[in-house]
Structure 1
Amino acid sequence: MLPKASVFTSPPAQLMGLLAERLPSSLTILRRLQFALRDESSPQHARIIVGSDRGALGPGPTEPRSYTVAYADFSAGPDAQTVLYSTLEDGQAVGDGGRSEHEQQLACVVDELVRLRSEHGRGWRPPPRLLLGSLHADVRAILERTGRLQGRSSGIYDKWLFKVRDLPPAEERLPDGMYWGRATFADCRTVVARTDIPRTADFLVKLPNLVIKLQDHTPIAWGFLGVDGGLMSLHCEESYRRKGLARNLAIKLLRESTGYFTDDGGEGWTSADVSKDNSASQAVCRSLNGQTAWVVSW
């Protein structure tokens, strides 16, 4: 019999404490939930699903030893996504019994995702499928065997981890004719036009971001922190490359904006999902004193 899942409309304090203890492996789901707590416009169709070795999450004499958590946005549109974490990802040795336990939790949480999607589809049109973002390779391998996961031909990334306190110094002063700014809605439309990743300007404009602009306000380099706190959409226009602009922008953005998600005084973890084929972005991550930790997919 599968364990019973708990479903929440907002992140419970107990869960946030459990996830904080599992850093950095729990980083993606923890930052996503922290963003949900901060974002007043969080989607009304979002739910947090938890399955644990204790069954339903709640008050009790003992904390769960193993658990699986999903944050699911059942809204329609390209910006909706689901993030999933299992304590299986911690990298500790897990015997056959422990793996079976985690597989049961994953099955429980996926069943609840399917049920909730059907429930939220009454009276409106839900998305045809849920996009799992930054999915750990070990968890993906389990879900693929269930037949419920449809993999993409591309979308394999290295998960790079950074500590804000370990970031190198950045050059605050920009070349003549440039200045630091924040992304306007028009800037975000430019960002959308520069990528084939399905995102919208409405989604990007509410994210922590940093832009380098010319004096006529034209954006020439930019970066964002996603809803999972990770560095995303780092870009520099072709004619302004090889000047260190993207690197300096990434350092400044991570140092100034990671605190949006956490109040740990700037000591916190942050991350980036980088394609194994993107040598330029891999080089930037190395220059930020980052380290590859595991493999994820979308």
Structure 2
Amino acid sequence: MQVYEHHASSPPLQAALKGTLPHSISLSYRTKHPSRTPNAHILATFPPAASTDSIPRCWAAAYLDRSMRPETELWIFTTGEIPGHCESPDEKEGFCTECKKAVLSLIDYMGTLPIPPMHPWNEPAMELARQHEKEHPQTGPDAVYPPGPGLYMRHLLIPMVVTLGACHHEVVQLLAEAGMLRKEFPGHEADLNKFWFKVADLPQTRDLPEKLRWGEMREKDLAIVQARTSIPRTARTLLSLKSVGVFEKATDKPVAWTFLGLDGSLTTLHTEPEWRGKGIAKAVTMKIFKEHAPELAVDDEENAWAHADVYVGNVQSESLCRSLGGKPSVKILWVRVHITKRDSSVT
């Protein structure tokens, strides 16, 4: 199946993503985010000159930027993710043959692209990877590494291993069957539930306690944000994201915050311990969705969508999402895949 490069504003691509919302929400947001380097590739299995009427029933699209490693480099969506998409009685389970071909064609194409250099500000991540290799020299798919910061960077030593984010569990399964999933690296064992929210159905944003005020997260606040999360995000990336913060009026200290990730998902939601149990996390979430989500993912019926990815078993975050009317839609994962190591017998 042929693969085509698209511009972010490609009319057929944006029409295809719009018509498949909310299922395509991560890729839809990512293609629209202004933080896009010259190394980004937006790909689809239909041409940029296609009319909306000529877009095939089965297709796949992706956003790839290898220069962003160790942050998420790749997002993929295929129409096979939509429940009921496959009509064949022989293919009731899993993706249809054409959707599988579309995904694998994208991956094959990615393997032919040049690898740009890592951004200089991410070089400390490579140092962590090298140190991890010294401490744990075993390599290969059967290697077992102990938890630690270096584990999340170790894949950087293998140039063709890519971090694939917010990926539908059946796409991950397909890549595993094709021999591309690298199980010695973290992610494949950690399912997340994707929650969708209709922005129009969100509750009213509640007032903050008297001693607090609203604001946006500033550059001087990012050190504490990075210290409170294990997810590798540079200050540069965080500054490119929409944010909502809550600050003590007396000290100007941030006590709660969240961001909309590069794919529009709720990310880095945090409340300092002394302010928990007061509904602040819920208020922060409602505010960022209402202020920054309404125009970014709007379906053909003019419904605006927002979303959040929550690790299975994170009862507190799941409860928060449900209290806002969110519904768990599908299992997703963040995984490392080897984009040039495909079993050619899998088609």
Give the AA of the match of 1:89: E
Deviation at 1:286, TM superposition (A): 0.8
Are the aligned partners of 2:167 and 2:333 in contact in 1 as well (CA < 8 Å)?
yes
Q: Provide the identity percentage.
A: 30
Are the aligned partners of 2:194 and 2:308 in contact in 1 as well (CA < 8 Å)?
yes
- Name the SS for the 2:84 alignment partner: coil
1:114 partnered with 2:105: no
Q: Mark the CA change 1:237 to 1:174 in structure 2 (over 3 Å): closer, same or farther.
A: same
Are the aligned partners of 2:297 and 2:306 in contact in 1 as well (CA < 8 Å)?
no
What are the residue-to-residue correspondences of 1:127-142 with 2, within 5 Å? 128=159, 129-142=161-174
Are the aligned partners of 1:185 and 1:202 in contact in 2 as well (CA < 8 Å)?
no
Distance 2:308 2:72 in 1: 19
Distance 1:209 1:76 in 2: 20
1:58 matched to which residue of 2? 49
What are the residue-to-residue correspondences of 1:1-298 with 2, within 5 Å? 3-35=1-33, 39=34, 41-52=35-46, 56-59=47-50, 62-94=54-86, 95=88, 96=90, 99-116=96-113, 119-121=114-116, 124=117, 128=159, 129-151=161-183, 152=187, 154-171=189-206, 173-215=207-249, 216-259=251-294, 261-262=296-297, 267-298=303-334
Distance 1:247 1:218 in 2: 19
Are the aligned partners of 1:159 and 1:293 in contact in 2 as well (CA < 8 Å)?
yes
Are the aligned partners of 1:255 and 1:266 in contact in 2 as well (CA < 8 Å)?
no
Distance 1:93 1:21 in 2: 13
Deviation at 1:101, TM superposition (A): 1.1
| TM-score computed with the length of structure 1 as normaliser | 0.89
Give the AA of the match of 2:307: S
Deviation at 1:155, TM superposition (A): 3.2
Distance 1:51 1:263 in 2: 22
- Give the number of aligned pairs: 284
Deviation at 1:290, TM superposition (A): 0.6
Distance 1:263 1:69 in 2: 18
- Name the SS for the 1:296 alignment partner: strand
Give the AA of the match of 1:184: R
Deviation at 1:170, TM superposition (A): 2.1
RMSD over aligned CA atoms reads 2.2
Distance 2:2 2:190 in 1: 32
Are the aligned partners of 2:296 and 2:304 in contact in 1 as well (CA < 8 Å)?
no
Cα deviations by residue, 1:69-123 (Å, 9 ceiling, x for unpaired):
010012143334210001000011523577111111111100111111xx234xx
Q: Mark the CA change 1:221 to 1:154 in structure 2 (over 3 Å): closer, same or farther.
A: farther
Deviation at 1:4, TM superposition (A): 1.0
2:137 matched to which residue of 1? none
Give the AA of the match of 2:211: G
Q: 5+ residue gaps in structure 2?
A: 120-155, 335-347
Q: 5+ residue gaps in structure 1?
A: none
Are the aligned partners of 2:10 and 2:48 in contact in 1 as well (CA < 8 Å)?
no
- Name the SS for the 1:195 alignment partner: coil
Deviation at 1:57, TM superposition (A): 4.8
- Name the SS for the 1:213 alignment partner: strand
